[in-house]
A and B are shown apart, each in its own frame.
Chain A
Amino acid sequence: MSLEKFLHSLGIRHLVCGSCNGCELEMNALAAPQYDISQEGWGVVASPRHADVITVTGPMSEAMRHAAQMTIEAASEPLVVVAVGDCASGDGVWCEAGSAGPGAGRELEASIFVRGCPPSPDALREGLRAAATLLDGRKS
């Protein structure tokens, strides 16, 4: 295995901002043996301080806005924010509904948007791979 491979390892912190949990079900599927993202050196971490990637779902709920911002601020650079699902990307069913925001990924200035309601595990893996590639560029 070439050493560059390690550049692609990702610590992922997940932020739920008014999601219906459908996106979370598919994010969790990534740990199933059919996908097993731990083989890529990707894993969900216990602190934003350990994160390279923050995945966000949902339109943004009012009560999460502050905690979400604090999570982003707590993470160290370089950091890539990935919007997961149509809600986070800005045109899901709950965007601007009731007191919901315009999309958590839009508010938190995501650089990658993974579409779908919810996105399939394959689409999520592609999104994370794009994040890893982006990070490699920033780290060098």
Chain B
Amino acid sequence: MASKYSERPVKQGDLPNVVDELMSDALPLGCYATQRTVRTLFLSRSGVRGLRTALDGDEKWRSLAQRYPFFSYHEREMQALQEIVVQSSPDERPLYFSSDAIPEAIVAEGKGISGVVVGPVHAGIIEPGRFTISTGGESVVHIDAQLSYSHRALEPWFEGQEALALAPRVARICGNCSVARSWAYARAIEELAGVELDDCTEFARLVLAEMERVHVHLFDIGSIAAGAGYDRGTTAALGLRERICQVNNVASGHRLLFDSVVPGGVKAGIFADPGIVRTTLRELRDDVARFCDALLAKRSLLRRLEGAGVVERPLARRFAAVGPSGRASGIACDVRAIAPYGAYRGCAFSEELAGGGDVYARAEVRVREIERSFDLIERGLREVEGRKLSAPRQVDAAAGIITTVVEGARGAESISLELSKGGRIDRLHVISAAYRNWPLVTRAMEGNIVPDFPLVNKSFNLCYSCVDR
């Protein structure tokens, strides 16, 4: 079994140095607290490494966000939900707020600067967020994103529940990363219980995860076209995506593949006819390739994408960017390549990198990743086709602490699970790729024109539900 979780105790005083060291050769995932114990997590080639820091009595947490700004959300969440007092935080605002409170916004000040506020309800079918934009004329000086409108305090509510029974809910923490999160959750339970799966099941999981990537990437590419005002591209992308959803339904009985990966394997009865899925996807693959080629050759569209919302590599690094957005800025962050899991272990997978860090690069990385996904799907379906896919194995959930990471369509999706005897949840923490990348969206907009906010925002197309929880 690959990519084991390991952790070691680190005193708070030593933590900044240890984090500095790990930053140079591992992918930072973030940190979370269980009562008075904070775990800082990294993904390295040997698996997830945790640094366990126990806080004494009323010891405060000394913010790491001054040095590494991506810790800011984590620390605000720890303060809100675990009552850990964070010292010298660069952002002391409460992360969650109540119904009639208007959250405090950070606005730029200066001559000629004015503000625009949008949200939380938007002129489209999108999740709720409030954006306070400070502008000097047409140029954006600063954007403050106030998320948390979808906060439902799910994590405290998970505590005490039975881990196996919670799987359908985990699949619905977010509709965009359902398969990835279900897979990370199933792995966490299975690795704690010492359960290994047969190759056929592992390949079925890989296929499902790649099908999710294809439908989400196509949606994101369509959204980029929409942000650029190119409706023809949006409609075509939605049409192709719809065909994928129909294949998803044939393959798994669910258009968005919810509940297809379960602890112990994959949903019973899935891929009843892998041959049909393979032939349909073959045709679809050609149509998707033709569409993407035509889209990225369209000069008038390219002029909108190139140079918009640039995230330079050092900034992406400082914010620990993940997913296609990280790779578009040249950051190697694909979990499938760094710490392969399941059937990726036998696939010699290499990640798609670009350098521009602009909207174009984020579109291009997705286009290339869709092609890789289709390769992986074909490979996986051939493995599934020749064999009989077994029903999910019985798993006896075992006690322990673990973090597992899976590459979702928007990047590294991790599950931190702490189980007590009998498989009850002491703590279940979700770190989503969107959580990681949100601060970058606002940085990417600086110096861009206000009308490009939808375009730049859509080039990340981050989720809210798995961020807010």
Verify B172–A94 contact, CB threshold 8 A. Answer: yes
Contact of A118 among B149, B256, B468 (CB under 8 A): B256
Cα distance, A14 to B156, chains bound together (Å): 29
Q: Which residue of A lies closest to B239 (CB)?
A: A33
Q: Hey, what's the 0/1 contact readout for A10-39 against B, CB within 8 Å counting as 1?
A: 000111111111111111110111110000
Verify B150–A58 contact, CB threshold 8 A. Answer: yes
Cα distance, A44 to B123, chains bound together (Å): 7
| Known contacts A16-B128, A62-B98, A100-B152; A29 and B175 CB within 8 A of each other | no
Verify A67–B174 contact, CB threshold 8 A. Answer: no
Verify B465–A34 contact, CB threshold 8 A. Answer: no
Contact of B175 among A18, A20, A62, A67 (CB under 8 A): A20
Verify B153–A25 contact, CB threshold 8 A. Answer: no
Verify A20–B149 contact, CB threshold 8 A. Answer: no
Q: Which residue of A lies closest to B102 (CB)?
A: A66
* Contact partners of A58 in chain B: CB under 8 A: 150
A3 CB–B CB distance under 8 Å: no
| Known contacts A63-B98, A98-B152, A99-B151; A23 and B175 CB within 8 A of each other | yes
Contact of A24 among B99, B153, B175 (CB under 8 A): B175
A104 to chain B, nearest CB (A): 11
Verify B150–A118 contact, CB threshold 8 A. Answer: no
| Known contacts A62-B98, A63-B97; A29 and B245 CB within 8 A of each other | yes
Cα distance, A53 to B262, chains bound together (Å): 37
* Contact partners of A29 in chain B: CB under 8 A: 238, 241-242, 245
* Contact partners of A45 in chain B: CB under 8 A: 123
Verify B124–A66 contact, CB threshold 8 A. Answer: no
Q: Which residue of B lies closest to A96 (CB)?
A: B157
* Contact partners of A27 in chain B: CB under 8 A: 125
Verify B124–A34 contact, CB threshold 8 A. Answer: no
B252 CB–A CB distance under 8 Å: no
Verify A117–B463 contact, CB threshold 8 A. Answer: no
A9 CB–B CB distance under 8 Å: no
Cα distance, A15 to B149, chains bound together (Å): 12
A135 to chain B, nearest CB (A): 20
Verify B123–A25 contact, CB threshold 8 A. Answer: no
Verify B152–A61 contact, CB threshold 8 A. Answer: yes
| Known contacts A33-B239, A45-B123, A67-B120; A22 and B152 CB within 8 A of each other | no
Total interface residues in chain B, CB < 8 Å: 47
Which residues 46-62 in A have Cβ within 8 Å of B in the complex? 46-48, 58-59, 61-62
| Known contacts A18-B152, A25-B219; A117 and B172 CB within 8 A of each other | yes
B319 CB–A CB distance under 8 Å: no
* Contact partners of A16 in chain B: CB under 8 A: 121, 126-128, 150
* Contact partners of A65 in chain B: CB under 8 A: 99
A7 CB–B CB distance under 8 Å: no
* Contact partners of B154 in chain A: CB under 8 A: 94, 97-98, 100
Q: Hey, what's the 0/1 contact readout for B102-122 against A, CB within 8 Å counting as 1?
A: 000000000000000000110
Q: Hey, what's the 0/1 contact readout for A55-96 against B, CB within 8 Å counting as 1?
A: 000110111111110010000000000000000000001100
Verify B172–A22 contact, CB threshold 8 A. Answer: yes
Cα distance, A61 to B121, chains bound together (Å): 13
Q: Which residue of B lies closest to A71 (CB)?
A: B121
Verify B125–A66 contact, CB threshold 8 A. Answer: no
Verify B150–A61 contact, CB threshold 8 A. Answer: yes
Cα distance, A29 to B175, chains bound together (Å): 14
Verify A67–B121 contact, CB threshold 8 A. Answer: yes
* Contact partners of B464 in chain A: CB under 8 A: 21
B373 CB–A CB distance under 8 Å: no
Cα distance, A15 to B109, chains bound together (Å): 32
Q: Hey, what's the 0/1 contact readout for B280-305 against A, CB within 8 Å counting as 1?
A: 00000000000000000000000000
Which residues 151-176 in B have Cβ within 8 Å of A in the complex? 151-157, 168-169, 172-176
Cα distance, A128 to B446, chains bound together (Å): 40
B279 CB–A CB distance under 8 Å: no
From A13, A18, A33, A93, name the one whose CB has the most chain B CB atoms within 10 angstroms.
Answer: A18
Cα distance, A26 to B255, chains bound together (Å): 9
Cα distance, A13 to B148, chains bound together (Å): 21
Contact of A98 among B157, B219, B245, B258 (CB under 8 A): B157
Verify B168–A63 contact, CB threshold 8 A. Answer: no
Cα distance, A15 to B125, chains bound together (Å): 8
| Known contacts A20-B175, A22-B256, A29-B245; A97 and B219 CB within 8 A of each other | no
Given pairs A21-B174, A33-B236, 16 additional interface contacts (CB within 8 A):
A16-B126, A19-B127, A21-B175, A21-B463, A22-B172, A31-B235, A44-B125, A46-B123, A64-B150, A66-B99, A68-B121, A93-B169, A94-B169, A97-B157, A97-B169, A121-B242
Closest 5 CB pairs of A and B: A22-B175, A98-B153, A46-B123, A98-B157, A32-B238
